[in-house]
Amino acid sequence: MSLGTDIAAALPGLRAEAESRMSETVQVGRFKDGTDPVTGDPTRVLDVERYSGKARIRWASREVSNSDSTSSPVGSQEPYLSVPFGSPRVWADDEVHITASPDPLLVDRQFRIQGAAVAGQVTAYRYPLTELG
């Protein structure tokens, strides 16, 4: 036995555990401007779908710090998107729309993918995000 063999053997189970924590449903891809047919309000409409399915939105940091150069606190949040290992690749500047979640504060939030996912011996693909308006 070797560490590499042990990790390779454990990864399928760890990936299943990571996927079991994915409680949000998302649409990821290229969106375009649209209009709500009932209200006439502007919307974002999925134009090119890259991934649709289960995911997890998580924040690496929720810290608020005080800066000596300003008189108000500065918030620093680093959200990221986790999708199951083996999911299709999504790209920087693709948008993420949360369509369902057990947490009502997450539903209808939108994010932009900021870079590539870490890949290789991972339990899920994790993409850095920036929240949109």
Write the DSSP string, 53-102: EEEEEEES---EE--TTSSS-EE---EEEEEETTPPP--TT-EEEEEE-S
pLDDT at 31: 97
Instruction: Please report how many Cα atoms fall inside a 13 Å half-sphere around the Cα of residue 89, on the Cβ side.
Output: 7
pLDDT one-digit tens code per residue, 79-116: 999 999 999 999 999 999 999 999 999 999 999 999 99
Q: How far is CA 34 from CA 41, 45, 111, in A?
A: 9, 6, 17
Q: Which domains does the chain have, with CATH numbers?
A: 3-131 (2.40.10)
pLDDT one-digit tens code per residue, 19-75: 999 999 999 999 999 999 999 999 889 999 999 999 999 998 656 555 555 566 666
Distance CA 76, CA 27 (A): 25
Distance CA 53, CA 82 (A): 11
pLDDT at 68: 56
